[in-house]
Amino acid sequence: MRTLLFLVSILTLSGCSVSRYLNKEIRNSSVLSQQHTGVSISDLKENKELGSYQGNKYFTPASNTKLFSFYAGLCALGDSIPGLEYLEWGELLIVRGTGDPSLLHPDLPHSKVFDFLKNRKEPIFFTPYNFENKRFGPGWAWSDYNDYYQPEVTAMPVYGNIARFKGGPSQQFTVSPARWKQAMVFDSLASGIQREEMQNVFHHSKLVVPQGLEQDIPVRMTDLLTVQLLSDTLKKEIKLINIPLDIELQRINSIPSDSLYSRMMQVSDNMLAEQLMLLYASANGLPLNTEKAIAHAIEHHLKDLPDKPIWKDGSGLSRYNLFTPRSIAALLQKIYLKMPQERLFQILPSGGKSGTLKNLFKDSTPFIFAKTGSLSNVFNLSGFLITKKGNILVFSFMNNNFTRPSSEVRKEVERILTGVHDKF
- Domains of the chain and any CATH numbers: 2-61+322-423 (3.40.710.10), 82-255 (no CATH)
pLDDT above 90 (res 1)? no
* Position 84 confidence tier, pLDDT thresholds 50, 70, 90: very high
Supply the pLDDT for residue 21. 96
pLDDT above 70 (res 58)? yes
| Selection from 8-17, 241-250, 403-412 with the highest mean pLDDT | 403-412
- Whole-prediction pTM value? 0.94
In angstroms, the CA 216 to CA 147 distance is 8
Q: What is the DSSP string of 152-197?
A: PP-SS-SGGGEEEEEE-GGG-EEEESGGGGGGEEE-TT--SEEE-T
| Across 360-375, average pLDDT | 94
131 to each of 21, 72, 208, 278, how far by Cα in Å? 50, 19, 35, 9
In angstroms, the CA 95 to CA 125 distance is 6
Torsion of CA 347, 82, 286, 67, to 10 degrees: 0
Supply the pLDDT for residue 14. 44
Radius of gyration of the chain (CA): 24
**pLDDT tens string 199-209:** 999 999 988 99
> In terms of DSSP bridges, do strands 202-204 and 184-186 run parallel, antiparallel, or are they unpaired?
parallel
* Position 186 confidence tier, pLDDT thresholds 50, 70, 90: very high
Neighbours of 359 (CB within 10 A): 11
- Write a three-state SS string for 378-404: EEEEEEEEECCCCCEEEEEEEEECCCC
Average pLDDT score, the chain: 94
**pLDDT tens string 270-281:** 999 999 999 999
pLDDT above 70 (res 11)? no
pLDDT above 70 (res 109)? yes
Using alpha carbons, select from 110, 210, 218, 114 the residue that is nearest to residue 164: 218
H helix or E strand, kind and range, residue 336: helix 325-338
Neighbours of 51 (CB within 10 A): 22
Supply the pLDDT for residue 364. 77
Are the CB atoms for 36 and 397 separated by under 8 Å? Answer: no
Q: Helices in 243-289 by DSSP H: which ranges?
A: 257-266, 270-283
In angstroms, the CA 410 to CA 408 distance is 5
* Position 13 confidence tier, pLDDT thresholds 50, 70, 90: very low
Supply the pLDDT for residue 191. 87
In angstroms, the CA 49 to CA 47 distance is 7
**pLDDT tens string 188-244:** 999 889 999 999 999 999 889 999 999 999 999 999 999 999 999 999 999 999 999
H helix or E strand, kind and range, residue 124: strand 124-126
Would the CA dihedral through 150, 151, 152, 156 be positive or negative? Answer: negative
Q: What is the DSSP string of 83-122?
A: EEEEEEETTEEEEE--S---TT-TTSPPPHHHHHHHH--S
Supply the pLDDT for residue 170. 85
Supply the pLDDT for residue 85. 98
* Position 363 confidence tier, pLDDT thresholds 50, 70, 90: confident
pLDDT above 90 (res 16)? no
Edge-first strand listing for the sheet containing 80-89: 238-240, 124-126, 92-96, 80-89, 250-256
Is the preceding peptide bond at 405 cis, omega within 30 degrees of 0?
no
